């Protein structure tokens, strides 16, 4: 009888020891907030199809000399839309190789290619009062005409003009807004960017 009691006590001790050695139950962690500026799909409303038209116009004084419209299909509260329209322009470079003779060796001409054109990135999220917050980035590169006097370059070498803009706009359905006006200090040309928003029904 005494032996039976000792075996019962030993089994009870083993059971208690096994329970205490188990890893404590993990509590569920609360969800972490998104990083500042991060866009969470569906966090600010349902996905809404939009049409965003970006028009890049150039003026010489008050005279419009060019107007280039670009249309992007953008889904609000979703990923950004991107448009790239470039042409690779060859840029010549000359290299003079060493020559053991008294006569100088003719230069060796090689070509590097540089993209010239327009890159646009556009995103949208829903805002208050039926408006949309439009995030837009525009990068434009163009070749400077030789008649404008290629300052700081050798004769015959091309010069490139770069335009870059980043902005956030609040627009309603059907609204157009001109958000930047910039003047080139060499040519005197003025660049204006207009954005028009349309909700696709």
pLDDT (mean) for 77-94: 90
Q: What is the Cα–Cα distance from 56 to 192, expressed in whole angstroms?
A: 6
Q: Residue 119 forms beta bridges with which residues? A: 84, 139
- Quote the pLDDT of residue 34: 42
Query: In sequence order, what E strands does the chain have?
Result: 48-60, 63-76, 81-95, 108-126, 132-143, 160-171, 176-183, 189-199
pLDDT at position 54 over 80: yes
- Quote the pLDDT of residue 8: 55
Threshold 0.85, pTM exceeds: no
The model's pLDDT over 99-155, given as tens digits with 9 standing for 90+, comes to: 666 666 777 778 888 899 999 999 999 999 999 999 999 999 988 876 555 555 555
Name the residue ranges covered by the structural domains of the chain. 42-82+116-146+157-199
């Amino acid at each position: 009888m005494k032996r039976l009691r000792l075996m019962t006590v030993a089994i009870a001790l083993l059971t208690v020891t096994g329970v205490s050695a188990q890893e404590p139950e993990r509590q569920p962690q609360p969800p972490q907030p998104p990083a500042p500026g991060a866009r969470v799909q569906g966090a600010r409303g349902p996905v809404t199809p939009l049409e965003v038209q970006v028009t890049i116009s150039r003026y010489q004084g008050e005279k419009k000399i060019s107007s280039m419209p670009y249309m992007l299909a953008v889904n609000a509260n979703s990923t950004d839309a991107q448009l790239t329209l470039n042409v690779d322009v060859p840029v010549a470079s000359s290299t003079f190789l060493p020559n053991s003779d008294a006569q100088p060796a003719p230069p060796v001409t090689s070509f590097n290619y540089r993209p010239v054109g327009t890159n646009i990135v556009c995103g949208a999220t829903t805002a208050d009062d039926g408006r949309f917050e439009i995030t837009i980035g525009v990068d434009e590169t163009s070749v400077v005409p030789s008649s404008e006097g290629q300052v700081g370059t050798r004769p015959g070498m091309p010069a490139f003009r770069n335009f870059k803009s980043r902005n956030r706009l609040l627009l309603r359905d059907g609204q157009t807004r001109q958000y930047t006006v910039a003047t080139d200090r060499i040519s005197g040309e003025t660049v204006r960017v207009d954005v028009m928003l349309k909700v696709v029904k």
